[in-house]
Amino acid sequence: MIKRNKTENEKVKGKSRLFEPNAKRLKDPEFKIKQLKSFNRRSGMDIPFLSLILILLTIGLIMMFSASYPNAFYRHKNDSFFFIRNQAIFATIGLISMFFVSRFKYENLKFIHVPIFILSFICLIIVLFMPKLNNARRWIMMGPINFQPSEITKFSVILSFASIIDKNFEKMGTFKYGILPFMVILMPNIVLLALEPHISCTLIVILLATIMLFIGGIKLRWFLYTLAPIVFAVLYLVIFTDKLTYANKRIAGWLDPFNPPPGVDTWQNKQGLYAIGSGGIFGLGLGNSRQKYLYLPEPQNDFVFAIVCEELGFIGAVVILLLFAALIWRGVTIAVLAKDRFGTLLGLGLIMQVGLQVILNVSVVTGTTPNTGIELPFFSYGGTALLMLLTQMGLILSISRGSNIEKIR
Task: Give domain status of residue 292, yes or no.
Answer: yes
Q: Is residue 340 part of a domain?
A: yes
Q: Tell me what the mean pLDDT of segment 184-202 comes to.
A: 85
In a domain, 116, yes or no: yes
- pLDDT, position 371: 79
Residue 154 domain flag: yes
Q: Residue 243: which pLDDT band, with cuts at 50, 70 and 90?
A: low
181: DSSP letter = H
Structure confidence by residue, pLDDT tens digits, 344-360:
999 999 999 999 999 99
State the chain's mean pLDDT as an integer: 82
Does 394 fall in a domain? Answer: yes
Q: How much is the pLDDT for 318?
A: 97
CA distance to 166, 180, 191, 229, 302, per residue, from 213 (Å): 11, 12, 20, 16, 29
Give the pLDDT score at 28: 54
Q: Residue 246 has what pLDDT?
A: 61
Residues 91-100 pLDDT 10s: 999 999 999 9
The verdict on residue 29 lying in a domain is no
pLDDT in tens, 104-118: 889 999 889 999 999
d(CA 139, CA 286): 32
Which residues form the domain of 347?
Answer: 66-401
Domain count, the chain: 1
Q: Is 133 helix (H, G, I), strand (E, B) or coil?
A: strand
Single out the residue of 396, 361, 395, 366 nearest to residue 378, CA to CA.
361
Q: Judge if the upstream peptide bond of residue 197 is cis by omega within 30 degrees of 0.
A: yes
Q: How many CB atoms lie within 10 A of CB 310?
A: 30
Q: What is the pTM of this model?
A: 0.85
In a domain, 31, yes or no: no
**Residue 204 clears pLDDT 60, i.e. is over it:** yes
- Give the span between the Cα atoms of 54 and 211, in whole angstroms: 27
In-domain check, residue 99 = yes
Give the model's confidence band at 86: pLDDT under 50 very low, under 70 low, under 90 confident, else very high. Answer: very high
Q: What is the mean pLDDT of residues 6-34?
A: 48
The more confident residue out of 36 and 361 is 361
Q: What is the pLDDT of residues 306-322, one digit of tens each?
A: 999 999 999 999 999 99
